[in-house]
């Protein structure tokens, strides 16, 4: 009877040792992720802390202790050159908001057509789009400038907006999402009911594609908001600069006027808020039911 008890106790000891080994194995990726998060968040934390310091506090010591000059920094930034910083913010909102909206619309129509309709050359066109996804934007910047210069559109708002409307990655993502979210049976049912292709797209397919298009809009908004090279090449009038290019000009002037460094840091900190607010506002659309469009139709 004692031997039976001994045999029954051995598996229990083995199972007790197994979770301990699993916990030790899981500790390595957890620590790696924490170190990666710390590496990414440390510069952000420094910008937040540095924006609260006055010029004397910023250059005297390097600490992560908050300063007392945040209100003064924001006031100086708002009054610099009659509030040109807020004009840069408005320009960025125009470029990113309108550009991302138009890009999402073009991606929706193109992605739906590539996913649902069968036509000659469809796969070839899709492969060309994939090549566009792999193409670095820096390679396209100079040809885009030359094309817009021929059309006499450089140094205008359109010179920054037009190249952002067509996003190969947005079309690719919209096609993949439309193929997965829009059932072919629903499209065929709409055709049998006598609905036209545009009506099927707007009333049936488009509501199903909303979560994917929100993702396209967010990606494109962030890409345009953070874009520096294209406005740098296209624009010469600083009143049309986006926030990235405007802060760069302040940084260049800071080499001769160190007091402007506090404005650059405070401006970089404030420029993050629109992105955070946008994410918090539109994240609820990701939880929509993918078939809600078919039910409503």
Q: pLDDT tens digit string along 204-224?
A: 889 888 888 999 999 999 999
Pair (47, 104) in one structural domain? no
Contact of 250 with 208, CB cutoff 8 Å: no
The per-residue pLDDT for range 2-15, each reduced to its tens digit, is 444 445 445 554 55
Strands (DSSP E) contained in 89-152 are none
Pair (55, 186) in one structural domain? no
| pLDDT number for residue 227 | 92
The SS3 assignment for 39 reads helix
| pLDDT number for residue 253 | 83
Between 87 and 136, name the one with better pLDDT.
87
Between 283 and 117, name the one with better pLDDT.
117
Pair (145, 188) in one structural domain? yes
Pair (108, 193) in one structural domain? yes
pLDDT band at 295, cuts 50/70/90?
very low
Distance between CA 208 and CA 214 in Å, rounded?
11
pLDDT band at 57, cuts 50/70/90?
confident
Pair (205, 284) in one structural domain? yes
- Mean pLDDT over residues 30-51, rounded? 88
- Mean pLDDT over residues 281-296, rounded? 55
pLDDT band at 287, cuts 50/70/90?
low
- Is 287 domain-assigned? yes
pLDDT band at 22, cuts 50/70/90?
low
Distance between CA 243 and CA 250 in Å, rounded?
10
Neighbours of 151 (CB within 10 A): 11
| pLDDT number for residue 294 | 42
List the domain range (segments joined by +) for residue 39: 23-67
- Give the least confident one: 81-95, 110-124, 221-235: 110-124
Contact of 232 with 144, CB cutoff 8 Å: no
- Supply φ then ψ for residue 32, to 5 degrees: -65, -45
Q: Whole-number mean pLDDT of the chain? A: 83
Contact of 185 with 121, CB cutoff 8 Å: no
Pair (216, 283) in one structural domain? yes
What total of structural domains would you count in the chain? Answer: 2
């Amino acid at each position: 009877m004692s031997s039976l008890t001994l045999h029954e106790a051995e598996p229990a000891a083995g199972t007790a040792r197994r979770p301990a080994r699993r916990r030790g194995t899981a500790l390595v990726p957890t620590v790696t992720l924490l170190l990666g998060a710390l590496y990414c968040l440390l510069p952000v934390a420094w910008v937040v802390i540095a924006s609260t310091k006055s010029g004397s506090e910023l250059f005297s010591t390097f600490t992560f202790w908050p300063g007392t000059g945040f209100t003064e920094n924001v006031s100086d930034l708002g009054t610099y050159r009659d509030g040109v910083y807020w004009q840069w913010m408005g320009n960025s909102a125009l470029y990113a908001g309108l550009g991302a909206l138009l890009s999402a619309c073009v991606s929706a129509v193109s992605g739906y057509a590539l996913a649902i309709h069968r036509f000659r050359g469809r796969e070839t066109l899709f492969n060309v789009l994939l090549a566009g996804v792999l193409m670095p934007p820096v390679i396209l910047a100079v040809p885009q400038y030359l094309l817009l210069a021929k059309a006499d559109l450089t140094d205008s708002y359109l010179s920054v907006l037009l190249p952002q409307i067509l996003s190969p990655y947005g079309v690719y993502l919209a096609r993949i999402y439309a193929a997965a979210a829009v059932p072919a049976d629903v499209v065929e049912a709409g055709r049998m009911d006598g609905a036209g292709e545009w009506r099927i797209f707007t009333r049936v397919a488009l509501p199903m594609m909303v979560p994917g298009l929100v993702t396209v809009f967010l990606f494109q908004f962030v890409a345009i908001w953070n874009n520096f090279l294209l406005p740098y090449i296209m624009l010469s009038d600083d009143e049309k600069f986006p926030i990235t290019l405007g802060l760069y000009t302040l940084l260049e002037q800071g080499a001769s006027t160190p007091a402007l460094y506090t404005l650059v840091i405070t401006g970089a900190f404030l420029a993050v808020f629109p992105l955070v607010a946008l994410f918090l506002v539109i994240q609820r659309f990701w939880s929509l039911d993918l078939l809600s469009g078919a039910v409503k139709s």
